[in-house]
Structure 1
């Protein structure tokens, strides 16, 4: 029998990984068996799983590693009674006719999952019509099934923020609203600065005719990216023509249609900014079909969310990009929420990440005479 020393996590004998082998194929591993394998008391294992601060980080990690090795699953009902916590992060997913599935949101969720699984947290995903999201968020909090919420798809004067500030449930916003005080916890990238830098680079290369293929016009990140573009062009005495701006869902088909339309204008753009590499995929297809050479006849910069299946360096002509990882943002937001729930550490409540501007072959000097 393993030695035990009460519930002091600093004095527990370490478990041996080989002990896990006989449990890997077992259907059920209970708390008593897990504690014996680790050489820890049941109380310490339970406290480690429930985030009690008196359990040190090394012991908590040993317990979580053993949980993954053995497939142990705590009794959620008993855990909730003991701690008052559900062990879940809630999110509201907008869905309705005309709203297309979003690969960017999937990558962000993968980042959330990376961090949540380290602490045995679950997701509660509540679908909602966009016009009913405030009520859906309120119901989700009232259900008691979540310990915290994160908000995405920020809009101008987003009403969800004011509602959540009246509640006691922790939350973090991915993005920032526009037109309301930023006195709430958020993580955002500097969308204005990213597209200012991108447009300025193209203007410095001599381009005078610009186009912007953007996300939906009601989303805050799209508004800020257009603002950054307009600001950079204004500094060079240039304007962004409205007929050279498209707001849409960020799919390759929308990118293709927008670029196809721009190229048919009497004065087509020689410089294009895309809010996603997915949009850029369609835009490049239209450029190729028109017989134009990317980086020579027309230059393009896209925002790269670091999507694993669409790397800008793997395009036939590698894309110049502004870059910030959506997966890393998901990991960070989950870490902040879980740290708040379990009082593990004190982390910044407001973060604005700068993007990287990576120059590749898709940008070059403006064509002569244009």
Structure 2
């Protein structure tokens, strides 16, 4: 199968087919999708070197990962990468992942720009006061944030779960069930997603005129031992919580383990709501899921982020893209009315 044969099957000119496969903005999205589907169906694979020469692009997307983010060891990151990688491949792009020490992040981006190693970059784990967006604008590298930098929502392109709204709804569910003392086991709160989740938790309380007890809130790397140890500590206190709101399924497994070790029953004695990234290897499934959860697929987020980067930002780098992904609130077996 060659370009001429593909064009004939589509009843389009070779020029139009070539431009559609190479991502030229003047080709409509409908035509591009039609060409890509036919190319997959007929097994046509364009010559990558020819594409690079024709377009002047590297046909690669860069991901620079600071070691402090712990993301290469994080299954959530790997699920995101799986979704993004499938999309890159479908559009004929390669993925470049660079894991660097924190002081070398700027140098890594400058090297990408200087050597034109990637046409654009995906930025992970934005924090308070993150300087990466300013650097990438200086370098002229198109980019998309997975998450947001506070204060730069109107000046950067991003895709993000509506974390504040998700945790506000989850907290309100627990309050509606009569829980007065709710523990929050959050991620590291210098990360934007965790700060927004805490804000949603606090808003649900303040909207009802309720005071939050700081002793019921924790923030750390979202591991199973963190969930178990925090839960044991809180349940052994003089005034324990009757419910937990948790930022990760992995942490929630530790919470459930500790509740059982204390001789209590989850969903009856203690209620638990967790955020569920819909990880393929850790399903919270069934007609009635084990955990009540705020669910948003991180794999879908990776797919959608890659689509936005390739289809929207690369053709029009000056146009800002802002997209919220709303989390579902799914009631499972882990919540019930507050004990009398």
Which has the larger displacement, 160-169 or 142-151?
160-169
Q: CA deviation at 1:98?
A: 7.3
**CA distance in structure 1 between the aligned counterparts of 2:3 and 2:329, rounded to whole angstroms:** 56
Scaled by the length of structure 1, the TM-score of the pair is 0.81
Matches within 5 A, 1:29-178: 46-52=18-24, 53-54=26-27, 56-57=31-32, 58-66=34-42, 69=43, 72=45, 74-76=47-49, 78-95=50-67, 101-178=73-150
C-alpha deviation, 1:244, in angstroms: 2.1
Counterparts in 2 of 1:290 and 1:350: CA distance versus 1, 3 Å: same
Question: Which deviates the most, 283-292 or 179-188?
Answer: 179-188
- Counterpart position of 1:13: 8
8 Å Cα contact 2:288/2:332 also seen in 1: no
Match of 1:364 in 2: 336
CA contact (8 A) 1:176 1:182 kept: no
Superposition RMSD on alpha carbons, in Å?
Answer: 3.1
Question: Cα distance 1:65–1:171, how it changes in 2: closer, same or farther (>3 A)?
Answer: farther
1:251 maps to which of 204, 218, 223: 223
Larger Rg: 1
Query: In terms of mean alpha carbon deviation, does 195-204 or 91-100 score higher?
Result: 91-100
More off after superposition, 156-165 vs 130-139: 130-139
Question: Deviation at 1:102?
Answer: 0.4
Closer, same or farther: CA 334–239 of 1 in aligned 2, 3 Å: same
Unaligned ranges ≥5, structure 2: none
User: Counterpart of 1:297?
Assistant: 269
In structure 1, how many angstroms separate the alpha carbons of the residues matched to 2:225 and 2:320? 39
Deviating beyond 4 angstroms after TM superposition, the runs of 4 or more aligned structure 1 residues are: 1-5, 39-48, 96-100, 314-317
Corresponding residue number in structure 2 for 1:229: 201
> In 2, distance between residues paired with 1:336 and 1:208?
42
Distance 1:98 1:169 in 2: 24
**Structure 2 CA distance for aligned equivalents of residues 343 and 322 of structure 1:** 34
Q: Secondary structure at the match of 1:151?
A: strand
Q: Distance in 2 between matches of 1:317 and 1:353?
A: 21
Q: How many residues align?
A: 335
| CA distance in structure 1 between the partners assigned to 2:46 and 2:9 by the alignment | 21
**TM-score (normalizing by structure 2):** 0.88
Q: Deviations over 1:153-207 (max 9, x none)?
A: 0101111111122332221111111244531111111111111111111112111
Q: What displacement does 1:314 show? A: 5.5
Q: Which runs of 5+ in 1 are unaligned?
A: 16-38
